[in-house]
Amino acid sequence: MSATAVLSIREFGEFWGTASDLTACPLSGIEWRLADGLPAKRPKHTQRSALRRFALGYGWEIMPGLTQRRSQSFRFNSDRARDLAGHWMLVIGGLALEVVFSAVPSYAPPVSATGRTEINAATRFCAVFGHPVRHSASPAMQNAAITELGLNWRYLACPVHPDDLRAAIDGARAMKFIGLNLTVPHKIFALKMADKLDESAQAWGAVNTVRFEARDPKGRWLPLTRFAGEVPDNLRAVGFNTDADALARALREELHLKRLRGASVLLLGAGGAGRMAALKLAAEHVGSLFLVNRTVRKAERVATEIRRRFAGRKVIVGYPRHRVDLVINATSLGLKPEDGLPFDARQFSLKQAGAVYDMIYRPAETGLLKAAKAAGCRAVNGLGMLLYQGAAALELWSGKRAPLEPMRRALEKEIYDN
């Protein structure tokens, strides 16, 4: 009795093994898989570091009749993938299988000396759309992550006028981009342009991340990274918001605010970023939220929205009289060297604050952060928020854990060394 197993390249899942394991015993992984289809546990000899840069997937089908179809993927060096390509015989208990390994360029890309894949016909794109966008550090951050993950992708920054946003999103969809980030002034306009809004975009009323998705043969919508080879037409654009969670994560991980629940917070600013921060803080059950904005009417509008959406939250427009756990700057004051402090020093003193988070990250230390440190507060700039929103976007597109440290290093180099 004989059958043929065809190994074709797919890009999902993970097989914990190394290139040398496969070369020494090229079919051991497959034989093991034929027994149960899925790896029960990670083999002892796994060397994770050896797997980092190159991802190559395979799926296998047994003929005749294509009655069985299972798939997993390997991660290993792309040169090894090419070594392995070819026909192999696999015999299991009298059942002879012909196994065909093929290395597909999109997932076994040529690799340059820097570890970055070279651009070829299989290279896929992501981009940030903004107006202006020249200042964006996202390309440096995301391309560092893309290199680290060994993806044959590139991340671009595209200057897109608001009047052209719909055409630009449609263009990216037509060109099978993996996804987009949207920055000022597009985050709200994009709400109307996505085919579907994730609940994060609905909750925070802004889209900063778009993921393009296509239907698989079973009709399920999947991110494009799940399609090896040609991507089907008729993509949809799904809108997400990763900013709000990024703020909460930065407050917890960088300012070491263990509990947002019950905390008292003074939030400065009620523009796009301020409104999002206010809603997120309310969702995190802060104890009392003081909203201050140059245009008081805008702060009142945000307070009204919070009372409507989060019944029982204590939200006050104006300065706190007593001590607060946290002050957040969501205004643009501090971007320019001549800017003053974003609050009225006659009505509030930083001695009343435990910690200060400035959403601004350029310059690294704003006047507010300097004053906060002088007043004895813990004080952190907005780089972490930029990092975490980007990491979450990358994870939505790739299905892989974002490599935070290379991303952070790339951001710091881009923003502070230039």
Contact set with ligand ATR (CB under 6 A): 184, 269-274, 293-295, 298, 330-333
- If one counts every other C-beta atom within 10 angstroms of the C-beta of residue 399, the result is 14
Q: Among residues 51 and 157, whose Cβ is nearest to ligand ATR?
A: 157
324-329 and 264-268 strand pairing:
parallel
Please, what is the minimum distance in Å from the beta carbon of residue 131 to ligand ATR? 13
Q: Among residues 197 and 273, whose Cβ is nearest to ligand ATR?
A: 273
DSSP E strands in 75-113: the ranges are: 86-92, 95-101
Residues 281 and 18: their CA atoms lie apart, in Å, by 45
Please, what is the minimum distance in Å from the beta carbon of residue 186 to ligand ATR? 11
Q: Among residues 106 and 331, whose Cβ is nearest to ligand ATR?
A: 331
* Single-letter code of the amino acid located at 237: A
Catalytic residue among 187, 192, 196, 336: 187
Q: Which of 277, 256, 260, 259 is nearest to 268 (CA)?
A: 277
Q: Among residues 295 and 349, whose Cβ is nearest to ligand ATR?
A: 295
Percent of the chain as helix, strand, coil, to the nearest 5: 35, 25, 40
Q: Among residues 331 and 398, whose Cβ is nearest to ligand ATR?
A: 331
- If one counts every other C-beta atom within 10 angstroms of the C-beta of residue 134, the result is 7
Residues 152 and 125: their CA atoms lie apart, in Å, by 9
Please, what is the minimum distance in Å from the beta carbon of residue 67 to ligand ATR? 55
Please, what is the minimum distance in Å from the beta carbon of residue 241 to ligand ATR? 13
155 touches 102 (CB < 8 A): no
Residues 26 and 29: their CA atoms lie apart, in Å, by 7
Residues 402 and 240: their CA atoms lie apart, in Å, by 17
Closest-approach residue to ligand ATR (CB): 271
Residues 330 and 321: their CA atoms lie apart, in Å, by 20
Q: How far lies 13's CA from each of 71, 72, 79, 144, 399, in Å?
A: 8, 5, 20, 22, 9
Please, what is the minimum distance in Å from the beta carbon of residue 402 to ligand ATR? 24
Q: Nearest 5°: phi and psi at 375?
A: -85, 0
Please, what is the minimum distance in Å from the beta carbon of residue 48 to ligand ATR? 40
Q: Is 413 annotated in the active site?
A: no
Q: Among residues 168 and 273, whose Cβ is nearest to ligand ATR?
A: 273
* Single-letter code of the amino acid located at 167: A
Q: Among residues 28 and 295, whose Cβ is nearest to ligand ATR?
A: 295
Please, what is the minimum distance in Å from the beta carbon of residue 158 to ligand ATR? 19
236-240 and 209-215 strand pairing:
antiparallel
Q: Among residues 330 and 379, whose Cβ is nearest to ligand ATR?
A: 330
DSSP E strands in 131-205: the ranges are: 153-159, 179-182, 196-197
H helix intervals, 234-360: 243-253, 272-283, 296-309
Please, what is the minimum distance in Å from the beta carbon of residue 155 to ligand ATR? 22
Q: Which residues carry out catalysis?
A: 187
